[in-house]
Structure 1
Amino acid sequence: MFDLSDLGAWGDLPFFAQDLPRIAAQIDGDFLPPPALTFAAFERTQPAETRVVILGQDPYHTPGKADGLAFSIPAGFGGRLDSLANIFKEIQSDTGQRRNQTDLRDWADQGVLLLNTALSVPPGQPKAHAKLGWSTLVAQVLERLNDRPRAFMLWGAPAHAYAKHLAPRHLVLRAAHPSPLSAHRGFFGSRPFSKVNQWLIEQDQQPINWADP
């Protein structure tokens, strides 16, 4: 079902041999993003390259919208942007810059791991795969990234629960999820993008270009 050939260093995580077969056996029918894109975030951003992690909830449940990178939407998608539209509003409010490109692969290429707490969802059924066992993978990913200081944005209660896996050396920013249902409860005004960039500069690293590339 899943193509694991491009996982690189992430492929060493025990999850892929020990847990993924069980999850695959539990999935009945179509799911999003499609199998070829399920692990796109890992393929795009390797552990050694990861400088920032954005942790959300689960993938978009509208066909054609989820591309395997949390919050990213393929270019040309004609529907509502929902969470991503609110992210764009916060980028402009926080940094004064504009973002219109919905495909977030340029963030991934700068070292931003775009991850959800669940990596699959049936069409039209949000959170339906939240308890399949993806939590084991997320925990192992975060623990792998404890080897050096990184910045983490944890958006929404499911993401907040993973803070326990993070070492004190990191920058950890918690906020409400940017969904239209919750963005007004603490996502807007949280200024995560400028805070992360300031921290990266203090770490003698290049800041992330959150605006259009």
Structure 2
Amino acid sequence: MSVIPTNWAHLPFFRDDWPRIAKALRDDTRQILPPEHQRFQALDLTPPDNVRVVIMGQDPYPTPGHAHGLAFSVEPDVRPLPRSLNNIYKEMREDLEDAPDNGDLRFWAAQGVLLLNTVLSVPAGEANGHKTLGWQSLAHQVLKEVSHRPTAFVLWGKQAQALAPHISSPKTGANKEDGHLMIETAHPSPLSARRGFFGSRPFSRINTWLAARGEPEINWTTA
């Protein structure tokens, strides 16, 4: 069984939902992605107190060898990049004039960027194959947990934007920087990227917001 991430173990999900989901995963005879030891890697790498930015994804890449537990991220040797990630990098080059050399985004996680999928497992070759297991309650609880202080939330596409009600307002002060930064645009997939994702400049907007709060900017481009 996947090891529960220590810093998030207090969430009710791990008491109320995880035992049932874990059994369903054990009973599923298909190849399940990502590998079991990486299933909670997004939470392992970014504890609650470190979260400054949340980027929500849908479910893991269904291609074996791609998913490693972080939304949109892939193992460093994956070529070509998944199409959504390739579009993310296209927008980053327009926004920041640079992008990472590969698709491994763990260095973002180390800086406080939580890359969380709404569903944390998928059968190989079957996108959305585990959408009915009940993973969504974990995403809801994580969003509520990190909402207690000002955070940048990136919600790409309608599925991610449907999670907005689970983001509560922090205790606000006199400045707008004391509230959340909400970036809601089209998804970076090839089907929708030209409907508002391209040109949205999310990376510089986040860094401008962080700088206004007196926080270090995110190094988006160089591992």
TM-score interval for Structure 1 and Structure 2 normalised by the shorter chain: over 0.9
1:15 counterpart (6, 13, 16): 13
Q: 1:199 is matched by which residue type in structure 2?
A: W
The whole-number CA distance in structure 2 between the counterparts of 1:121 and 1:191 is 30
Shift of 1:37: 0.5
Q: Residue 181 of structure 2 is aligned with which of 171, 177, 190?
A: 171
What is the one-letter code of the residue matched to 2:131? A
Q: Which runs of 5+ in 2 are unaligned?
A: 170-178
Match of 1:180 among 190, 203, 219: 190
Q: Which residue of 1 aligns with 2:207?
A: 197
- 2:175 corresponds to: none
Instruction: Encode CA deviations 1:168-196: one digit per residue, 9 max, x unaligned.
Output: 42111111221222222221111111111
2:3 counterpart letter in structure 1: D
CA distance in structure 1 between the aligned counterparts of 2:52 and 2:202, rounded to whole angstroms: 14
Q: Say what the alpha-carbon RMSD is for the aligned residues.
A: 1.3
Q: Partners in 1 of 2:34 and 2:188 — Cα distance?
A: 20
Quick check: which has more Rg, 1 or 2?
Answer: 2
Where in structure 2 are the equivalents of 1:1-213 lying within 5 Å? 1-4=1-4, 7-27=5-25, 28-29=28-29, 30-168=31-169, 169-213=179-223
Question: Amino acid of the residue matched to residue 18 of structure 1?
Answer: D
Q: Which residue of 1 aligns with 2:174?
A: none
Q: Please list every run of 5 or more consecutive structure 1 residues that lacks an aligned counterpart in the other structure.
A: none
The answer to whether the Cα contact below 8 Å between 2:81 and 2:103 also exists between their aligned partners in 1 is no
Query: How much does 1:68 deviate?
Result: 0.3
**The residue matched to 1:12 in structure 2 has which SS?**
coil
Q: Distance in 2 between matches of 1:88 and 1:79?
A: 13
Structure 1's consecutive aligned runs of 4 or more residues displaced over 4 angstroms after TM superposition are none
Partner Cα distance (2:137, 2:35) in 1? 20
Q: SS state of the match for residue 154, structure 2?
A: strand
1:79 is displaced (CA, Å) by 4.2
Q: Is the 8 A contact 2:7 2:44 kept in 1?
A: no
**The 10-residue stretch of structure 1 (34-43 or 125-134) with the greater mean CA deviation from structure 2:** 125-134
How many positions carry a matched residue from both structures? 211
What's the TM-score, normalizing by structure 1? Answer: 0.94
AA of the residue aligned to 2:17: D
Q: Does structure 2 conserve the Cα–Cα contact (< 8 Å) formed by 1:56 and 1:177?
A: no
Secondary structure of residue in 2 paired with 1:147: coil
CA distance in 1, matches of 2:141, 2:70: 18
Q: Would you say the 8 A contact 1:57–1:156 is kept in 2?
A: no
Give, in whole Å, the separation in 2 of the partners of 1:182 and 1:191.
Answer: 16
Distance 1:190 1:79 in 2: 24
Instruction: Read off the aligned partner of 2:90 and give its amino acid letter.
Output: K
Cα deviations across residues 33-83 of structure 1 (Å, max 9, x unaligned)? 111101000000000001000001111000000010111111112344211
Q: Which amino acid aligns with 1:3?
A: V
SS in 2 for 1:148: coil
8 Å Cα contact 2:122/2:130 also seen in 1: yes
